[in-house]
Amino acid sequence: MKRRNALKTLTGSAFTLSLTDALANPMETTPAMPALKGNIRHSVSRWCYGSIPLEELAEGCKAIGIESIELTGPKEWEVLKKYGLTSAMGQPDAWPKGLGLPSCFNNPKNHDALVALYTELIPQAASMGVKNLITFSGNRNGLGDYEGLLNCQAGLKKIMPIAEKHDVTITMELLSSRDSHPDYQCDNPQWGAVLCEMVGSPKFKLLYDIFHMQSMQGDHIRNIRRYGQYFSHYHTGGMPGRREIDETQEIYYPAIVKAIVATGYKGFIGQEYMPTPKDKAGMLESLKKGVQICDV
């Protein structure tokens, strides 16, 4: 029962009926909105909550205070807009055949197809207020680090003029080659920072995935202080297992998020962990706790 309807029936016999109905329908499944501090903006990765229909997830996010459902594409952005949400990190609705995380900008054979993809996607993102689009280096496949840098630079420079024109940032994700994505090339902030300098555009930056970088080298607060100027987005995830970011895992997120805020960062931090509960109410409650942990 909605609270406003209950208040209208708090007199006479109607109160008994109201109480009976309330007991029969004890609580709505959407978590109540906590009082967020506003020092960091909150987002969630769509794929982690894929079992919840998008509109229901959007409703749950609004109740929690989350402003974005990310790793979503143009077909989903209209739904998000309906609920007053954005996508803090956009992506194509589908990657063209042969392109994506394992094979991307470090392979010159992909450049023409990638330029065509982002030439279409960047204006779409701008028209919907989506400010970041994800991209990847691709796997090494025997490629040296310097050659990979040169190849990525050559391809990315071809799309920087359109990204700058539309005020959309192309964001390359830092991923673990040690565990989750063997052989991935952009697997540390040092390599990524060099690439940012080589591309030389404020519209090319990095996604610092805390879960993945914990697997590679940790040292998050030092990385954030040293390389934060190159990061346009952050992801969470409990280590090990990409579960909740609570006391059951090895990363202490409040200190890390405080370090992010201290750099002057005004963007989003995206919750990207697999909730332990599998029912909608439990998943949203898990998400709410993750947001509260990062709301420093």
Give percent of the chain above pLDDT 70. Answer: 89
Report whether pLDDT(76) > 60. yes
Question: Which residue is it, tokens 């202080």?
Answer: 225
C-alpha Rg value of the chain to the nearest Å: 21
Q: 42 and 291 in contact (C-beta within 8 Å)?
A: yes
Report whether pLDDT(126) > 70. yes
**Residue range 172-214, pLDDT digits in tens:** 999 999 999 999 999 999 999 999 999 999 999 999 999 999 9
Rounded to whole angstroms, the Cα distance separating 127 from 84 reads 15
State residue 32's pLDDT score.
52
Q: How confident is the model at residue 45 (pLDDT cuts 50, 70, 90)?
A: very high
Four-residue CA torsion sign, 258, 262, 266, 268: negative
